[in-house]
Structure 1
């Protein structure tokens, strides 16, 4: 049942909410928790005998729960006539005194000073998905209406995730009007069930209406520590800082909780691999937050060394320098270029990182796995561009280096084109490639720029990732490179039905979102027999299937390879040094291409033992260099396939 809006603007649409509640029916939709989790704070600010208004009530059970414990003066309004009818019918017998009215919160029909309290559970968040001027105006009209219908001394109680733009709006509006501000954090201990679905902390803002008086001191208070202790703060910036600290803490805790179920941390085999990789009896893992301003590993070591030594066992020689290991080499000055949210992968950030050598790398990072760089590009300075007319100064434009492949496994994939038996002819005429998995677009961009005869179809599930690739990583579509925004499994199945066998290369480079298994590339369905047969049906008889396989679970890896072998009779494997990834080159026919000797009993090959393969990879490199004005001197394609093994 598809209930997601096509765009965030639909959150303020009557038609969207009518459709939403019509599809959902009577099943309650709870924003940010249920009554048991919220009642401790709500009862402090809304009394049973008061007249209270619930705005944007939806089909939440919160009003019903309040009514059942003695709140009789409740009026509920919602923009959706559908949900108002549903709720009226649902409560007609048991809660006859409770009212449900269809009404726009930006233009309500109530007289001035009608209510002692207004309760908003998620409505503000729905109305303010962004910070655009039109959105700001709508929210201001709602706040004006709330102020009009509230009595002096009345409370506006808002249950919210308190995103930064929402928090700014709240603290710009109400304190300036002379209202008392108090912020509560919903206790985590009360949210054990919801926490699994809602990793972000929930806050309750309480604004108490007072008459605006000149030179009146602002009253700003927070109660965020899980107790009743209230702290008075001096300015709105301090309130925002206190809330953000709680949000950062909650996100960090969620990351650590999520890592507990990762295969590497949650299984004996995974933990054994981690310990073996580290090579030490004791290992302390420190996660650096993205907000940390460290520029060098030396600065990190300086701050951590004292704390690490506090964990040393009794009798440990304090003069020994404890070694530090780094998962990545991207420590440096970070500049956030863009932040967004993917429907499939959650929040992400695009950032430029300048290392100690001055080289700038642009990274795409999903915050659900913030320690891993999903895509990376090297940035270079383009030709100087003159400033405005009449000025001597010039400015330098930073652009993506299309000749650089950041991922080692992408370099191996490019070299693997030499496995095609007629690669020289194909590079002179036409080479048809299907790539499943766009990411930042580094691999398809390289292939497109360096091989003029390649015709490429790229398949990407996530529209937002395509926008990131085009907006920040230099990716462009044209008549030789088309992107299909669809499920890769569906695309492969549809192409297989055509049975044209016109494709020369299929590349599978898509990551899995399931961290509970030991395979991060690809998702399991892509290596099931049905999908593999579809790939084979797409390929030319002399075609090549290139698979990026990253699997720590050796039992699972063996099963995957066996399934691939049942469809592709001959497989060559190239293990990426110092990485979990390995690249499988899979052939639809029994006979290995370029093979000059009987390898039936051979477990490992050199390029020379594979006959003409080295020569063919040399052809690939020569063509690539000839099409490029900028070539990475560290990219020696002829060396990428050393150490091939028969899988």
Structure 2
């Protein structure tokens, strides 16, 4: 039986509605939810003594339900005489204050200010001051804009409440679930400013919005999320790998509060169907949580076929782990697969707390923008110091582990452990530096890209006989390295503030020779498929200058990160054009590929084994619980 109109104009025609209710018969038709699901919301804004008008009542039981719950004055009107006749035939004498009248809602004959509450059209004239207009709607874009264009501008207070129960019932019935909203507009003569309120969370918290655009952003973000949730309930995303969405504070679309990655691995029968993993604060940049491959790995390790991985953002206030679970409960349930038998979702994390994030310093770089230095404490008690730029918050620019120093009679303090490498690619770059300099007194090493100084400081410890120079274009980096990451210049460790490209050109121009040039420079241009280094560092002129600046046994070690793998052949070709031999190593956790290039033929395999053994000996000597796995490096080594 097709009840849909042929055009939107039919919605306003009496003939259409007469035919509609003739075809439907006496079966009640509710647009967006039945009384049991909506009653909890309605009775917050309706009083028993209210004089209530329900416009476009149809054959809904809402009027009867309100009357039976104590509202003794309820008037129902509808343009269709067919449906009014149906409703009158069902009415009994026990409801004397319940009326059904055939009337066009846009041309009523009621007195001015007659009603104190109107549920769904000619409301400005009919409602008395302080009266409420209440409407249940899906708030499609055109409806939301009409509401916001009219009510706030005419002195009405506006509140929009999300009704969860109708959505939940639709999900339980296996139907499409769209967000249902209740709009409550309260009539005043005038207001000094617009009052815009939204209540969109299950915690019933009411948030104020500054502008109508804030309301629109909040509503549309919920609708988009609901569309994603509906898709996730219906189908697998195994072929897509994952879907991501950001969650905002209601009324504040400027800053993300939670980022959610929904990951699905190939189905494993023994796995549980679904869980939510909450990433501790400060650990969202780790490979396991910040990369697609890492998140797939996490899902496999936790033995869940689908995993919602939730990360928190700096600058936001969070409660306890249990409070965050409660806050996420609704959205996490909506991301569950359809076949989930229980609505009880398992929440996982790395410990019993959300982790601790302590912001130590905030500053601004002329080259890279605003940055934050923070200490992050793991549940194990280990503390890590990290540098982030706010324009790339999921990328750790520099990282160091802190160690506790206790002095007799003095308060213990934490300092940077300079004997540790926090980046896997720095380990292989250090192997390259060791290859070039270990057997040579007063060797010279240039590191392009000082960063937090961690690589330079480590090489200074590993190769005490060598002169280490860190080069960076940004003077702010030297300040950060010195004040926060333990970098300390001396006669064999120095920093040079200069454009790395100019520095290399000056070396070649002046005929200076160095034993190793390590290039670890990130690319600020996100539109290019190479994150490291900027393409200029691999240009023919610069590679020629690098080659000319190396000693006979010198090495060029460069960290290359390709988001676009199709660029790799051109990188290989450029290196082949300027160096006689080179090897490369792909880190297992990230996209980094480290190239070690030589002007001469070299026994890379044998020498790399010696370098790895020497570095492991260095770790043991300095009580560093770290090891460079020889087999791992050799298995991933590519000889070109």
2:211 is the alignment partner of 1:225: yes
The answer to whether structure 1 residue 291 and structure 2 residue 295 are counterparts is no
Deviations 1:255-293 (A, max 9, x none): 99xxxxxxxxxxxxxx99899877899786755221345
CA–CA distance in 1 between the matches of 2:505 and 2:535? 16
Pairing partner for 1:432 from 420, 444, 450? 444
| 1:614 matched to 2:628 | no
Question: Matched residues in 1 for 2:590 and 2:431: separation?
Answer: 18
The residue aligned with 1:312 is 336
Aligned-partner SS, 1:404:
coil
Match of 2:146? none
Per-residue deviation, 1:360: 0.8
Q: Aligned equivalents of 2:292 and 2:464: distance in 1?
A: 47
How far did residue 489 of structure 1 move?
A: 0.9
1:508 matched to 2:501? The reply is no
The answer to whether structure 1 residue 523 and structure 2 residue 516 are counterparts is no
- The residue aligned with 2:421 is 405
Quote the offset at 1:295 in angstroms: 9.1
Quickly say closer, same or farther: Cα 1:302–1:409, change in 2 above 3 A.
farther
Q: Does 1:645 align with 2:638?
A: yes
Alpha carbons of structure 1 residues 303 and 431: separation in structure 2 relative to 1, 3 Å: farther
CA contact (8 A) 1:183 1:224 kept: no
Residues 64-83 of structure 1, C-alpha deviations (whole Å, 9 max, x = no match):
xxxxxxxxxxxxxxxxxxxx
Secondary structure of 2:391's aligned partner:
helix
**1:297–1:550 distance in 2 versus 1, CA, 3 Å:** farther
* Count of paired positions: 371
Within 5 A, what are the aligned runs for 1:308-387? 308-312=332-336, 314-318=338-342, 332-384=355-407, 386=409
Q: Where does residue 452 of structure 1 map in the other structure?
A: 464
8 Å CA contact retained: 1:409, 1:548: yes
- SS of 2:545's equivalent in the other structure is helix
Change (3 A) 1:645 1:347: same
SS at match of 2:482: helix
| Matched residue, 2:560 | 549
User: Which structure 2 residues correspond to residues 225-244 of structure 1 after superposition, within 5 A?
Assistant: 225-226=211-212
Using a 3 Å threshold, how does the CA distance of structure 1 residues 334 and 424 change in structure 2: closer, same or farther?
Answer: closer
Query: What is the match of residue 114 of structure 2?
Result: none
Q: 1:250 to 1:451 in 2, by over 3 A?
A: same
Q: Does 1:492 align with 2:504?
A: yes
Deviations 1:550-590 (Å, cap 9, x if unpaired)?
A: 1131101222222122212322111111221121111112x
- In structure 1, the partner of 2:278 is none
Instruction: Evaluate the alpha carbon distance shift between residue 223 and residue 321 of structure 1 in structure 2; reply closer, same or farther with a 3 A threshold.
Output: closer
SS of the aligned residue for 2:396 comes to coil
8 Å CA contact 2:555, 2:598 repeated in 1:
yes
Contact 2:376 2:384 in 1 (8 A): yes
| C-alpha separation in 1, matches of 2:543 and 2:565 | 20
Extract unaligned runs of 5+ from structure 1.
1-181, 185-221, 230-243, 257-270, 387-393, 595-609
What is the Cα deviation at residue 616 of structure 1? 4.1
Q: CA deviation at 1:469?
A: 0.9
The structure with more radius of gyration:
2
CA distance in 1, matches of 2:373, 2:342: 41
Instruction: Find the counterpart in structure 2 of residue 472 from structure 1.
Output: 484
Q: 1:611 to 1:372 in 2, by over 3 A?
A: closer
User: Does the CA contact (< 8 Å) of 1:334 and 1:352 recur in 2?
Assistant: yes
Quote the offset at 1:245 in angstroms: 7.9
Contact 2:368 2:389 in 1 (8 A): yes
Shift of 1:479: 1.6
Counterpart for residue 65 of structure 1:
none
Structure 2 counterpart of 1:416: 432
What is aligned with 1:483? 495
Any conservation in 2 of the 1:415–1:641 contact (CA below 8 Å)? no
Cα 1:399–1:418 shift into 2, 3 Å: closer
Partner Cα separation in structure 1 for residue 530 and residue 493 of structure 2: 29
Offset, 1:246: 10
State how far apart, in whole Å, the 1-side matches of 2:210 and 2:507 are.
55
The structural deviation recorded for 1:465 is 1.6
Mapped contact 2:443–2:467 kept (Cα < 8 A): yes
For residue 358 of structure 1, report the CA deviation from its aligned partner.
0.6
Distance in 2 between residues matched to 1:515 and 1:275, nearest whole Å: 22
Q: Counterparts of 2:487 and 2:322 in 1: how far apart (Å)?
A: 36
Q: Distance in 1 between matches of 2:526 and 2:373?
A: 22
Alpha-carbon distance between aligned partners in 1 of 2:349 and 2:428, rounded to the nearest angstrom: 26
Aligned to 1:461: 473
Point out the more displaced range, 556-565 or 489-498: 556-565
**SS of the counterpart of 1:379?**
strand
Name the structure, 1 or 2, with higher relative contact order (CA <8 Å, separation 6+). 1
In the alignment, is the contact (CA less than 8 A) between 2:547 and 2:578 conserved in 1? yes
> Per the alignment, do residues 499 and 251 of structure 1 end up closer, same or farther by CA in structure 2, a change over 3 Å counting?
farther
1:297 and 1:228 map into 2 onto residues whose CA distance is: 29
Match of 1:534 in 2: 545
What corresponds to 1:114 in structure 2? none
Instruction: Label 1:550 to 1:349 Cα distance change in 2 as closer, same or farther (>3 A).
Output: same
The CA deviation at 1:632 is 1.2
CA shift for structure 1 position 296: 8.9
What is the distance in 1 between the residues matched to 2:251 and 2:368?
A: 19
* Contact 1:521–1:551 (Cα < 8 Å) also in 2: yes
Q: How far is 1:425 from its partner?
A: 2.4
**Deviation of the 1:314 alpha carbon:** 4.1
Which residue, out of 580, 586, 589, partners 2:597?
Answer: 586
Question: Contact (CA 8 Å) 1:411, 1:637: kept in 2 or not?
Answer: no
Aligned residue in 1 for 2:624: 632
Q: Give the match's secondary structure for 1:526.
A: helix
Given that residues 621 and 638 in structure 1 are in contact (C-alpha distance below 8 angstroms), is that contact kept between their aligned partners in structure 2? no
Deviation, 1:539, is 0.7
Native 8 Å contact 1:354 1:361 kept in 2 = yes
Asked whether the equivalents of residues 183 and 223 of structure 1 are also in contact (C-alpha less than 8 Å), the reply is no
Query: Deviation at 1:355?
Result: 0.7
Q: SS of the residue aligned with 1:465?
A: helix
Cα deviation per residue 1:153-204 (whole Å; 9 max; x = unaligned)? xxxxxxxxxxxxxxxxxxxxxxxxxxxxx999xxxxxxxxxxxxxxxxxxxx
Separation in structure 1 between the aligned mates of residue 325 and residue 250 of structure 2, nearest angstrom? 26
Tell me how large the CA RMSD over aligned residues is: 4.1
Of Structure 1 and Structure 2, the greater strand share is in 2
Shift of 1:483: 1.0
**Superposition deviation, residue 622 in structure 1:** 4.0
Q: 1:320 to 1:541 in 2, by over 3 A?
A: farther
Paired with 1:228 and 1:245, the residues of 2 have a C-alpha distance of: 11
Shift in Å at residue 642 of structure 1? 2.4
